[in-house]
Every structure is written in C-alpha cells, then in structure tokens.
Chains A and B, each alone.
Chain A
C-alpha cells in the first residue's frame, strides 16, 4: 500500500481540492482509476450474480437481481474486452475473497462470470448449483463467524487486465474526466441504476491530464455502462483491491471481498448528475 510514500501526494491533493473547479455536468468519456473500478465491479457485477439474490432469498433486505435465470448465456453484459471472473484461488492473489475451501467445504475455484462480454456464470452453493446446470457448487458459501449461517458471497470478483498502459490511454483520449478513489456509492435493489462519486478527478484534454476537479460523480445503467468499455489497462496497473465491509443477510453479516481491476475507459457516461440543481 506504500502509505508513507503516498502520504505527501495525498496531502497536496487534499489542499488543492479546496480551490479546484467543480466537476461539470455532461455526458462523455470517463476513465476510472482501479480502486473505484473495483467498487463498480462489486456493486454492478458482484451482487447481481449472487444466485441467492436471483432466487429471491434476499428479496426483503439486500434485494434481488436483474440477472434472472433466462439471462445466463443470453445477455451481452459488456463489450468484447470485458472479462470478469470469480476467483477464490490463492493463485489469483492475496485478496479479501481468497481461501482454500468455502464454508461448505467446497474447494476454491475460478468461475467465468463475463467472457468476452457475454454473461456466463453466477455465484452458487451446493443447494442451488443444479438450478443453473452445474454439477457442483462454485464454492462461494462464506460466513462472517462461527455463529452465522454461511450464505452466498462474492469471492474475488475481478475484471481481467487488458493491454493498455494508463499513460497511453490518456494520450489516446481527446476529451474525458479521470476519476479516482470512492467517496459515495449507491445502486438500486436489482442492480441496474448506480451512482458513484469520487474524491478527486482531472480533466483529460487533447491526450493530456489537465486541471483538477472536485466533487466528481457519474451514473448509469449497469449493462449500458459495461458495454461502453473500450479500453482496459494491463497487468502492470492491475491491483487486487478489496471491499472490507460488504453487508448482506439477516442477521446482518459483514464480509470482505476482493476485486482486481486496472484503470479503464468508458464512453457516453453521464457525469455530474449528483450535484445537478
């Protein structure tokens, strides 16, 4: 995490934000930093693929999912370059969703969730796997502690790296806003419509990083957003981020989940609606 190395930069940015321009309201190109994209994955891919939500078991609390069973192998979730896996195996990395066995004793696995943009898989358990034609659970039953029932949980839900370098991606972008580090997050109970705001943003003009922007926000519809992805940075900038406080279940359970991501570019995104008067 290199907290000490990053501290001076963060301090300078915090001071500079006081006099930064307000993020404009527009529809345009968005480049997301990896950590914000990690939470985007969590909310708009990780939760809707939980099969217990799909089957109605969370209907009263966390909600359901737009990914009804008819959509499996029958939905363009994202653009061709979008590949998402649920990978609990240690070789995926030391993530908050890494383990050897889940809490039903099923070995950690890697499951394709989105393959070249197509919706391919859910998170399942031993009870529900057969409903989607699986011969065994995808190994995602996790419990907060000894005194809570295991429920289907995200493992490491990761967007696989692409081929770009961030500097090249910025140089390739004529007009955009780059946003980094989550500040607030919200999505509907079926996981279609989301809005995120971040701590900091920058204008990208003519392939260069320009002035700093405060109060950046963006919003959209899950499948439209992922289908607008046209560039994903590569391994060098891919980090297995984590969400340490995912709440689900009654009684409520808190769980850590992992989300590998690298900076990525999205087109035609609504920007700045959070502060629209």
Chain B
C-alpha cells in the first residue's frame, strides 16, 4: 500500500505544545485522514471501521496573587479508530498521522477487538446521515492572543489592587474540531471556538467569584465579571454564623447548574435499563413542580457542541421534562433498538458502559430577576455557587456539597449581610418541587457540571445540615 500524498505532506507527528497561536486544519485534511484510515483498514479482517479525528488549539492564562503565574498553549490532533470483527469491537487512538502509525493503530484496534467477547447489542455502523448546520466558530475568539488575555487579566488585577483585594483566575480561549467517518459512508464534521473567564476576588477572610463561558469572547466582559466578584467579596466580609436548617434560597444560575447537572445522566435509556436511574418507576409522573420544563437542544443559540453524537447520529431536540413530568429519555442506537424507539443522537463513542446522556440542557426559566426574588423574600439566603457536590442517595437524588464564594442573608426583601458557608444535603427531586420563582435562563457555567442554559431559582426549604468555619 502506498502512502497518500496528504499523509506525506502532513509529516510524522500531529501533537505539539506551543507558546504561540495557530489554526485548525481545513476540513478536507481531516476527511483525508479518515479516508486514509479506511483505505488502510480495507485489506484487514475488519468487517467495519470507524474513525474519529479530533483537533484542539487551546490556550490558557492563569493568574493568582494579582499576577499571571501560568500561560500555556496546546495544539494537538488525535485519530481514534474503532474496528469491528465478527461482532466484537474495540478502539485504539494515536496522535501520529504518518501511515505506519495509522496502520499500527488499526492493528491495535483489531488486536483488542479479537480479544473482546462478542457484543450482542452491537449494531452495524450507520450509513450517511444529514445534519443541521450550526455556526459556532467566532473569529474574535479564534483571533484572541496571549497579549489580549494578559491585558484583560491586568485590568482585573488592577481593580483588585485598587480595592485592596487579591485576584485569581483564568482566561482561556481556543478552538477545536471533530470529524468522523466510517466504512459505510458516514461523514460528519464540526468546529467551534470557546472562551472562558473565571475570577475569584479575595478580601481576607472573604472571597467571591464570577465566571462566564461562550463561543464568542465578545459575549462576556471580563472587567464586569471582575467588578461583580470584587463587590461581592467586599460584601462577604464579617460573615455571621447561622444555625443549620431549612432555608429559602435564591440560587444564582451557577449554583443551580452545578447541582442539577447531576440529575440528567438519569435521562439515559441505558441508565433506566440498568436500573441505576432515579427515573425508574417515575417516568410520566409529576415528580417536579409544574413550572419545571427542560429540553435537550443542541441547536439552541446559547449552546455549544456538535450536531451529531459519538456514532454520527444527528442530535434531536428532546423534551425531557414538561411541566414537572419527565416525558422522554435520550437514546443511543443500541438502547433505542432495545426499547423499540428511534435513536435521538445522544450516544457516546463506542465502546462505552454508559450508553448516552443529554448534553445540551435548556431550562424554560421564568421572568423574575434575582433582585425581584430578593425583594419577595422575608428571610432567606442568596447563594453564589455550590461546591464539591457528590451524590449521597442515587434514587432519592440526595446531593451533598458546600456553599462557596459568597453566601448572603436576605431579610425583609433586602440583603443584610454575609453568612458563613453551609453544607447541604438536599434531594434534587424535592428541590425541583419547591421552585417558587425563576429568572430568564442564561448560558450558565460552573465547575461541577457542564454548561447549560439555566435560570436563577428561588427555592423553599433547602436543607442545610452543617456550618463550616468561614
């Protein structure tokens, strides 16, 4: 077999760590890599072959103590090859794209496949699909330089110094693309840009935090985020200790996102079939408040992500919860076949244990501002964010975690002071029954769950079990 001219031109290695900026390969080069792998696999004993090519070009500026202490950039490309032999399948991945390396990865994949048991749920690979176009590549993000990030960080640090505070955080930006193809003629490709600014302002012993994440770096203002964190850090001083108990809470969008994110893996059809979902015996029943409706929508204007899943099936918009009732699950091809349903385009790359999950969540939200929620509250707590969230009970969906970076007392419709952080032990099912008000949904971001379109929520009877020292 002769190496293709494209491969020879591309050289031997596709992964480098760099200090500078760069661009993504044209889509035709990714397609050429896929075609080369499929060609190289043709004379082997693989019955079917699938290829994923993923390329990243990411940069991150990290700062602490009012100075940048880390600036890193990374460009890399991986080729992941799945082969099927006689009902057995396995995957091997390489970051080298010369012909010998691709052939070696094919051989590794085949060798692994031969050593696997037959998978009775394995389906023939899908053929050519049609995808909705999404445009998630923003030139201002792609053009962002280390100097641009450093200037924004300096402005944030200058604000901290002016206020007698200490700033820490990141400003990250980058672009990525994924292409996949298989021996049945499927080809899909997607590229995006992404930018993120996160800042913690510390005014000892208090601290607060703000963060944003978007496709287009112009969709957020680092200086405004820094000002918000700075103001809240100052207001978080002199925190008083309150007794644990049930409180009305106003959860900012990041706080909502980080805790409810743990709920949505349970909308996987495989999770229900495995009886590890809190929705077992609860589908179609009113388990949340009537004001809760959630959709998985990869095409929402505030969402990022590819319009196809790990097997190349187009993502569909799925209504997960309608007026408090869980209505639909998401399906991979295998779980759809087992349930006699249509796949929804939510499967992970094969082979995997988990099946599928909704990854583009959109809450319906409401019309109330956080200010209105505060004004309507006789006694409660405003929660900036939640932290170190873990599952205590998988069926009642009891989650534990801490408040962090700004917990404020609301009395008679006004913020009256800071409060020491609490530990919560709270059932998500109960929490989403007790939502009294919601803001319009925004693109929220946190640290414990993936980004989603989510509102702030006013929730009654939120269970705080213990208090910490700060």
* Chain A residues in the interface with B (C-beta under 8 A): 55-61, 63, 66, 146-147, 149, 184-190, 192-193, 195, 197, 215, 217, 219, 221, 250-251, 270, 273-277
The reply to whether B168 and A56 form a contact with Cβ atoms under 8 Å apart is yes
**Looking at the complex, which one of A58, A147, A277 makes contact with B74 (CB distance below 8 Å)?**
A147
> Are B74 and A61 in contact, CB atoms less than 8 angstroms apart?
no
Please state if A59 and B168 are interface contacts (CB–CB under 8 Å).
yes
B202: chain A residues at CB < 8 Å are 56, 59
A61 touches B447 (CB 8 A): yes
Can you report 22 residue pairs joining A to B where beta carbons are below 8 Å apart? A55-B65, A58-B64, A59-B207, A60-B64, A60-B168, A60-B199, A60-B200, A63-B404, A147-B76, A149-B72, A186-B401, A186-B423, A187-B402, A188-B387, A188-B421, A188-B423, A189-B404, A193-B467, A195-B466, A197-B392, A221-B468, A277-B463
| Inter-subunit contact A147/B17 (CB<8 Å) | yes
Which of A186, A197, A215, A221 neighbours the largest number of chain B CB atoms within 10 Å of its CB? Answer: A186
A219 in complex: contacting residue of B15, B17, B168, B423, CB < 8 Å: B423
**Contact residue among B166, B199, B398, B423 (Cβ-Cβ distance under 8 Å from A275):** B398
Given contacts A56-B168, A190-B469, 15 further A-B contacts (CB under 8 A): A55-B64, A56-B64, A56-B166, A66-B469, A149-B72, A184-B392, A185-B390, A186-B402, A186-B423, A188-B468, A189-B402, A192-B470, A197-B392, A250-B172, A276-B463
Query: Whose C-beta in chain A lies nearest to the C-beta of B61?
Result: A250
- Complex alpha-carbon distance, A217 and B387, angstroms: 19
1/0 contact string of B402-433 vs chain A (CB within 8 Å): 10110000000000000001010100000000
Q: For residue A186, which residues in chain B have a CB less than 8 angstroms away from its CB?
A: 388-390, 400-402, 423
How far is the CB of A16 from the nearest CB of chain B, in Å? 19
Q: Is the CB of A250 within 8 A of B62?
A: yes
Known contacts A60-B169, A215-B393, A250-B62; A273 and B404 CB within 8 A of each other:
no
- How many interface residues does chain B have, given as a range? 35 or more
B466, A250: Cβ atoms closer than 8 Å:
no
- A57 adjacent to B423 (CB under 8 Å): no
Is B438 located at the chain interface by the 8 A CB criterion?
no
Whether B168 pairs with A274 at a CB distance below 8 angstroms is no
Cα A66 to Cα B389 with chains together (Å): 20
Q: Is the beta-carbon distance between A217 and B170 smaller than 8 angstroms? A: no
**Which of B62, B170, B400, B421 touches A184 (beta carbons < 8 Å)?**
B400
For the complex, what is the distance from the CA of A201 to the CA of B466, rounded to whole Å?
A: 22
Would you call B387 and A189 a contact (CB within 8 A)? yes
Option from B69, B76, B423, B425 in Cβ contact (under 8 Å) with A193: B423
Give every chain B residue within 8 A of A58 (Cβ-Cβ): 64, 168
CA distance A276 to B424 in the complex (A): 11
> From residue 34 to 88 of chain B, which have CB atoms closer than 8 A to chain A?
58, 60, 62, 64-65, 69-70, 72, 74, 76
For chain B, what secondary structure do more than half of its interface residues adopt (helix, strand, loop), or is it mixed? Answer: strand
Q: Is there contact, CB below 8 Å, between A57 and B60?
A: no
Return A75 CB to nearest CB of chain B, in Å. 13
Check: B198 CB closer than 8 A to any chain A CB: yes
Whether a CB of chain A sits under 8 angstroms from the CB of B280 is no
Per-residue CB contact flags for chain B residues 372-395 toward chain A (1 = under 8 Å, else 0) read 000000000000000111111100
A184 to B400, alpha carbons, bound, how many Å? Answer: 9
A110 to B423, CA, bound (A): 35
Instruction: Report the Cα distance A275→B399, complex, angstroms.
Output: 10
User: Nearest chain A CB to B391's CB is how many angstroms away?
Assistant: 6
**Is the Cβ of B425 less than 8 Å from the Cβ of A251?**
no
Q: A56-B202, A250-B170, A273-B465 are in contact. Are A193 and B65 (CB under 8 A)?
A: no
Does B209 interact with chain A (Cβ within 8 Å)?
yes
Taking CB atoms, residues of chain A closer than 8 Å to B398 are: 274-275
B60 and A251 form a contact (CB under 8 A): yes
Which residues from B are CB-within-8-Å of A190? 468-470
User: Which residues of B lie under 8 Å from residue A192 when comparing CB positions?
Assistant: 468-470
Q: Flag if B207 contacts A274 (CB, 8 Å).
A: no
Q: A193-B466, A193-B469, A275-B392 are in contact. Are A57 and B69 (CB under 8 A)?
A: yes
Task: Please report the C-alpha to C-alpha distance between residue A19 and residue B389 in the assembled complex, in whole angstroms.
Answer: 28
CA A92 – CA B312 in complex, angstroms? 49
Q: Complex formed: what's the CA distance from A219 to B198 in Å?
A: 30
Give the nearest-CB partner of B166 in chain A: A56
Q: Chain B residue with minimal CB distance to A52?
A: B64
User: Closest CB-CB distance, A26 to chain B, in whole Å?
Assistant: 14
Are A149 and B465 in contact, with the CB atoms below 8 A?
no
| Cα of A264 to Cα of B358 in the assembled complex, Å | 43
Alpha-carbon separation in the docked complex, A57 to B67 (Å): 10
Residues of B within 8 A of A187 (CB): 388, 402
Query: Considering the chains assembled together, what is the distance between the CA atoms of A97 and B387 in angstroms?
Result: 26
**Residues of chain B contacted by A251 (CB below 8 angstroms):** 58, 60, 72, 74
CB-CB nearest in chain A for B468: A193
Write the chain B residue with the least CB distance to A57.
Answer: B64
Give every chain A residue within 8 A of B69 (Cβ-Cβ): 57
- Which of A56, A60, A277 has the most B CB atoms < 10 Å from its CB? A60
Contact A219 to B62, CB < 8 A, known contacts A57-B168, A184-B390: no
The verdict on A193 contacting B402 (CB below 8 Å), with A57-B168, A184-B392, A186-B388 known, is yes
Closest beta carbon of chain B to A81's beta carbon, Å: 24
Q: Which residues of B contact A219 (CB under 8 A)?
A: 423, 465-466
Among the listed A59, A60, A195, which residue makes an inter-chain contact with B423, where contact means beta carbons less than 8 Å apart? A195
CA distance in complex: A59, B69 (Å): 13
From known contacts A184-B391, A189-B388, A217-B392, infer whether A274 and B421 are also in contact, taking CB-CB under 8 Å: no
Is the Cβ of B400 less than 8 Å from the Cβ of A195? yes
A250 and B400 contacting across the interface, CB-CB below 8 Å: no
Chain A residue with the shortest CB-CB distance to B396: A275
